[in-house]
Amino acid sequence: MTPQALYDAALEALNPRRISEDIEAGGVAAALVTDKGHIYRGVCIDTACSLGFCAEHAAVAAMLTTGEDRVEMIVAVGWEKQVMPPCGRCRELLMQLGNPDCQVVLAPDKVVPLHELMPYYWA
């Protein structure tokens, strides 16, 4: 899977919209590919009382729901179709999944292993 193909998969899920007076969703979309070659997508959910979650978390949850657990590459895309690096919470979740060599797309031409984003990881 190329970073571009994964980016394109994330773009398919990007769909910013207001769900209710208190919830917006889809302003950030993520796509990941597993070691089995399956792609999972997710979108962020932003709530008025901060109970929402990131697109990367949603994609990981979709993956875990099917019984898979190894992310090989991940990308997140924002409202303006720009690649977005994962936040600290998402980096932590990815590290705890156990593959520090997971490839993280940071820009169309820049992919780094997760462990480079977490040089002083606590575990």
Whether 3 has a pLDDT exceeding 90, the answer reads yes
Neighbours of 74 (CB within 10 A): 24
pLDDT band of residue 50 (cuts 50, 70, 90) is confident
Q: What is the pLDDT of residues 57-93, one digit of tens each?
A: 999 999 999 999 999 999 999 999 999 999 999 999 9
The per-residue pLDDT for 55 is: 98
Alpha-carbon span 79 to 16, nearest angstrom: 7
Domains, the chain, with CATH or none:
3-117 (3.40.140.10)
Between the alpha carbon of residue 13 and those of residues 16, 99, 116, 118, the distances in Å are: 9, 25, 27, 27
